[in-house]
Amino acid sequence: MQFKKLTFGLLMLSSILSFFGCSNSPKENNVSVTELHSLLADENITVLDVRTPKEIAQGKITTNALEADFFEDNFIEEATSKISKDQTIYVYCKGGRRSAKAVVKLRELGYSKVYNVEGGINAWKAKDYEIE
C-alpha cells in the first residue's frame, strides 16, 4: 500500500511539473543572458529564436537570430533546415521553457552544441540589454 501511495505521489508531481512547463533539460545545456550578451559582443554566433511571429515582431535579442516557431507542426524541420550539427547554437524564447524543450529535441537529433538561454528574452530585457 505504501508503494502505491509513493508511486501515485511521484506520478502527480511529474504531472504538475509537466503542466507548468518545467523542462528536463540538464543545467549544463543552459547559458545565462549575461553569457549570451558577452558572446554576442565577441563572436559571430548562431542564435535561434523559437517564438511566434507575433512575439518576434516585438523585437529580438539580435537581428541575426534565425527563426523557427516552436508551436508549428513543422518546427523540427524548420529549425534543422537552418542549422547544422557542427554549429554551436543558442536557443531562446520568451521565458526559457520552449527553448529548453527545443534544446532537448535538437540534442536527441544529434545537435550536441545547442544551448538554452535561461529566462529567454524576458531575462534579457530584465538586464536592460538592447532589443533589436
Q: What are phi and psi of 59, to 5 degrees?
A: 125, 155
Active site (annotated) includes residue 93: yes
d(CA 46, CA 75): 17
Q: Which of 50, 89, 91, 93 is catalytic?
A: 93
Q: How far, rounded to the nearest angstrom, does the alpha carbon of residue 10 sit from its chain's CA centroid?
A: 26
Q: Angle at the Cα of 113 (from 109 to 118), degrees rounded to 5?
A: 100
CA distances, 106 to each of 6, 33, 83, 126 (Å): 33, 20, 10, 27
Q: Which residues pair with 92 in a beta bridge?
A: 49
User: Which residues are known to be catalytic?
Assistant: 93
